[in-house]
Amino acid sequence: MPISADFKGRLYPHLEAIAAHFGTPFHVYDEAGIRQTAGQLKTAFHAVEFREFFAVKALPNLTIMRILHDEGFGFDCSSIPELILAREIGAQPDDILFTSNNTSAEEFAAALAYGGCILNLDDISLIDKVPDMPDLISFRYNPGSQSSGNSIIGNPIEAKFGLAHEQIVDAYRMARERGATRFGLHAMIVSNERDYQAFVQTTFILLELVERIADKLNIQFEFINIGGGLGIPYHPDDKPLDLKTMAAAIQRSFAYFTRMHQYGPKLFMEAGRYITGPHGVLVTRAINSKDIYRRYIGVDASMSALMRPAIYNAYHHIAVLGKESGEDDVVVDVVGSLCENNDKFAIQRALPPIEDGDLLIIHDSGAHGHAMGFNYNGRLRPQELLLRSDGTVERIRRAETIEDYFATLDFESKTLPIGKT
């Protein structure tokens, strides 16, 4: 479950050679696994008009995005650079959802100028800030007390996202007055959720709301978008999301809606983690060990490469190449080099005895891994590699260099002579 047997079989026998050739640390992604999950998602939702818009923030790499586009996916972008990435690989306006929040008027103008996209507005006040109301418009709904959310995204009442229940009908009315003729409705209520009921509930909430709005304004909805947030099992004891049962329940509610209304909207989804998360690992070499009050294993990656353990106290499974866990496990903290005590990939974890030079494989780094990295303490982000379906390994992003780190200091200085006479 952390790493699939297939990915392990494709990767582990060659890992020493890959590490020797490209150097450590690196994230390596598995094309065959990504395509397999993409296929499973499309198969599961075959009974409705379904489309996945991959959440670019999970793994913003052009090569990966090309693979997903080839699978027929669109892209969910929330900033101009993400939108440019999608345009760069040939995504068309219909292939791009722009789900931003706290958006500036300039950002809307740039999003529309950059060839267009499907706008998904996060607030009623933004209707007037869109320079030209597009034909097709979507709003993000926050159900408030109708849903309890979950621990990562929080209780909807406390979440900054979306429009309140009382605003939603007015929002579509106003958008229509400004010229919109086609409509979508979006909600994302949970994150990293493995209980499929959460997504069935989101679907119910959205389909009911579509009925209510359609009734009041006499409009039809082109799509509902149930967001991302599909969870993956990070811990070996975690149960995976039951995708098939979830898809069957969601498709039943669509069939019912279609019977009642003689039409059915399309179903959009914007999963990130579920698509690529399990199909990436962070590979790092043990470079030090120290024994003080605890035993520490120092590796050549830091939290700049994978923030989730430090920010969310998230569990990422760790394997040591060539050493199966056994009775001789040693309890250690696995740490990077930042001057921050939360720069730890594992805390008090039982692992096989590790020596300098061993390769550690930190699982499930394929989403919100490299992308979340930062440069605090002058620690640079590592390279990204792709294990191709044909067995070749390709570098798809180089490691950051000291020149990259200094790039924002290399500019023509301007001064404002305040108070100078």
Which residues are tagged catalytic? 339
Q: Which is nearer to ligand PLP, 316 or 379 (CB)?
A: 316
Give the H/E segment covering residue 134.
none
Per-residue burial over 129-147, b = 16 or more CB atoms within 10 Å of its CB, e = otherwise:
ebeebbebbbbbbbbeebb
> Could you tell me the two tokens for 358?
């061993």
Nearer to ligand PLP, 235 or 290 (CB): 235
| Minimum distance of ligand PLP from residue 372's CB (angstroms) | 11
A 10 A CB-CB count for 17 gives 10
DSSP string of 192-248, one letter each residue: SB--THHHHHHHHHHHHHHHHHHHHHT---SEEE--S-B----STTPPPP-HHHHHH
Interface region with ligand PLP, contact rule CB under 6 A, candidates 269-277, 308-316, 319-327, 338-346: 269-277
Instruction: Work out whether 74 is an interface residue with ligand PLP (CB under 6 A).
Output: no
Binding mask 125-154 for ligand PLP (x = CB under 6 A): ------------------------------
Judged by CB under 6 A, does residue 280 bind ligand PLP?
Answer: no
Using CB under 6 A as the binding rule, whether residue 188 contacts ligand PLP is answered as yes
CB of 415 to ligand PLP, least distance (A): 39
Q: Which CB, 55 or 206, lies closer to ligand PLP?
A: 55
Nearer to ligand PLP, 22 or 108 (CB): 108
Residue 238 to residue 236: CA distance in whole angstroms? 6
Q: Choose, by CB under 6 A, the member of 27, 87, 194, 273 that binds ligand PLP.
A: 273
Contact at 8 Å (CB) between 253 and 272? Answer: no
Could you tell me which residues come within 8 angstroms of residue 122 by beta carbon, excluding any fewer than 6 positions away?
99, 100, 101, 102, 103, 140, 161, 162, 163
Gap between the Cα atoms of 109 and 205, Å rounded = 31
Query: How far apart (Å, rounded) are the C-alpha atoms in residues 317 and 276?
Result: 16
CA 215, 221, 223, 228 torsion-angle sign: negative
The total number of residues written for the chain in this structure: 421
Taking CB under 6 A as the binding criterion, the range among 66-74, 84-92, 109-117, 266-274 that sits at the site for ligand PLP is: 266-274
How many Cβ atoms are within 10 Å of 288's Cβ, its own excluded?
Answer: 12
Site for ligand PLP in 40-69 (CB under 6 A): 55, 57-58
What is the nearest approach in angstroms of ligand PLP to the Cβ of residue 25?
Answer: 22
Q: Where are the beta strands (DSSP E) in 249-378?
A: 266-269, 280-291, 295-299, 318-320, 330-335, 344-351, 359-362
The answer to whether 124 and 163 are in contact (CB under 8 A) is: yes
**Mask for 342-371, x = binds ligand PLP (CB under 6 A):** -------------------------x----
Provide the minimum distance between the beta carbon of 192 and ligand PLP in the complex, in angstroms, as a whole number.
Answer: 6
CA 3 to chain centre: 18
Select the residue interacting with ligand PLP from 25, 33, 156, 272 (CB under 6 A). Answer: 272
Q: Which is nearer to ligand PLP, 306 or 332 (CB)?
A: 306
Q: Write down the least CB distance from residue 122 to ligand PLP, Å.
A: 9
**Whose Cβ is closer to ligand PLP: residue 57's or residue 129's?**
57
Identify which of residues 81 and 378 has a Cβ nearer to ligand PLP in the complex.
81
Contact status: 31 vs ligand PLP (CB under 6 A): no
- Residue 270 binds ligand PLP, judged by CB under 6 A: yes
Alpha-carbon distance of 29 to 338, in angstroms, equals 25
Size of the site for ligand PLP (CB under 6 A): 18
> 218 to 237, contacts with ligand PLP by CB under 6 A?
227-230
Q: Which of 168, 191, 162 is nearest to 101 (CA)?
A: 162
Binding mask 394-413 for ligand PLP (x = CB under 6 A): --------------------
Distance in Å, CB of 271 to ligand PLP, minimum: 4
The interface with ligand PLP within residues 314-333 (CB under 6 A) comprises none
Collapse the DSSP code of 390 into the 3-class scheme (helix H, G, I; strand E, B; otherwise coil) and give the result.
coil
Considering beta carbons, is residue 278 or 336 the nearer one to ligand PLP?
A: 278
User: How far is Cα 275 from Cα 364, in angstroms, rounded to an integer?
Assistant: 11
- Tell me which residues touch ligand PLP (CB under 6 A): 55, 57-58, 76, 99, 188, 191-192, 227-230, 270-274, 367
